[in-house]
Copies of this chain bind each other. A is one copy, B any other.
Amino acid sequence: MVDNPLITLTTDFGYDSPYVAAMKGVVLSFNPNARLIDLSHAIPPQDVRHAALLLSGAVLYFPEGTLHVIVIDPGVGSARAMLYIEIGGQRLLAPDNGVWTSLADDCEPTRVIQLREPKYWRSVVSRTFHGRDILAPVAGHLSLGLDPTALGPGVTEWVRLPVPRPKREQNRVTGQVVFVDHFGNLISNIPGEALHPTVRVLIAGQEALLVPSYSAAPSGTLVAVVSSWGTLEVAITQGNAAKHLNSGVDCPVVVEMVH
Chain A residues with a Cβ under 8 A of chain B: 2, 4, 6, 8, 10, 12-22, 24-26, 28-29, 32-33, 35-46, 50, 53-63, 66, 74-78, 80, 126-129, 132, 181-183, 212-216, 225-228, 233, 238, 240
Contacts and interface: CB of A to CB of B under 8 A. Distances in A.
16 contacts: A6-B32, A10-B21, A17-B182, A18-B40, A18-B57, A20-B40, A21-B39, A21-B61, A28-B66, A35-B35, A76-B213, A76-B214, A77-B213, A77-B216, A127-B212, A132-B228
Given A129-B228, A182-B14, A37 B24 contact: yes
Contacts of A8: 21, 24
A117 B15 CA distance: 34
Contact of A22 (B33, B57, B66, B233): B57
A22 to B, nearest CB: 5
A74 B216 CA distance: 11
B25 A44 contact: no
A238 B48 CA distance: 12
Nearest to A27: B61
- Copies of this chain, complex-wide, total 3
A16 B44 contact: yes
Which has the most chain B C-beta neighbours within 10 Å: A25, A26, A54, A62?
A25
Contacts of A132: 61, 228
Contacts of A18: 39-40, 53-58, 228
A128 B228 contact: yes
Contacts of A129: 228
